[in-house]
Amino acid sequence: MARKAVAAVLTAGAAAGIAFWRRRRRPAEHVDVYASDGSMVSFAPGSPAGDRLLPLARRVLAAARG
Amino acid sequence: MDAAQALADLTEISSQIESAVIATRKGAVLASTFGDDGKGKEVAGLALELLAAAEEARGEVEPLVQLEAATGQGSVFVVRDKRNVAAAVTTPKPTVGLVFYDLKTCLRLLEQEQEAAKPARRPRKKKEEKSGS
């Protein structure tokens, strides 16, 4: 019983660690696009779509704050 | 609830949203947090441009419903439903799920209001059958 509990805690800890690591690895700048079926595509800077969409987003920010 | 009230509620409940605009899918501004109408129109137009570019970038058949563009200076959120589009600008690193939820709630309330405001259809009169011919 105790072994099972330890295993569960270790598994949960590993999962949390992986999630945290993946989150940290994520580029600070990105564009996440969601479709009606629930799917999501993420565009990072350096990709053709990311390099097109991020400047547009900056224009929205500038227009809203300017 | 009209569009202006929906936006006022949105900015009141979400401390991360700096400014927002609601427009039709064709770009006509329904309400905005900007005092200036021109600014609201500009932001709505750019948000629609961003949405169109994202749709083109995805290149899939499934329609796009929302997007988040995160930059170092802040994030831009755009959500759309059958009729309207809501766009918001937030501080950097916002709580993404919460902002999407607030924007979708705003659009849903507005849609309910627009549905309720529709004039009720009058029932059609049945054509009287000609008798004796």
Report the residue of B33, B48, B50 to disrupt the A interface, i.e. the one with the largest count of A CBs within 10 Å: B50
| In contact, B32 and B43? CB cutoff 8 Å | yes
Chain B contact set for A37 (CB, 8 A): 62
Instruction: Inform me whether the C-beta atom of residue B66 falls under 8 Å from chain A C-beta atoms.
Output: yes
Q: Render pLDDT for B16-75 as a digit per residue (tens, 0 to 9).
A: 999 999 999 999 999 999 988 899 999 999 999 999 999 999 887 789 999 999 999 999
Q: Render pLDDT for A33-61 as a digit per residue (tens, 0 to 9).
A: 999 999 999 999 999 999 999 999 999 99
Report the residue of B75, B95, B104 to disrupt the A interface, i.e. the one with the largest count of A CBs within 10 Å: B75
Q: How, if at all, do strands B74-80 and B64-71 pair?
A: antiparallel
Residue of B nearest to A54 (CA): B69
Q: Is A39 left (phi over 0), alpha (psi -120 to 50) or beta?
A: beta
- List of residues 6+ apart from A26 with CB closer than 8 A: none
Residue of B nearest to A56 (CA): B50
For range A1-24, the mean pLDDT: 77
Among the partner residues B63, B70, B87, nearest to A35 by beta-carbon distance: B63
* Residue A22, pLDDT score: 63
Backbone torsions φ then ψ of A54, nearest 5 degrees: -65, -40
| In contact, B51 and B64? CB cutoff 8 Å | yes
ipTM for the assembly: 0.84
Task: Please report where in the chains the tokens 């849903």 appear, as a residue.
Answer: B108
Q: Cβ separation of B69 and A53 shorter than 8 Å? A: yes
Chain A contact set for B87 (CB, 8 A): 60
B91 versus B121: which is more confidently predicted? B91
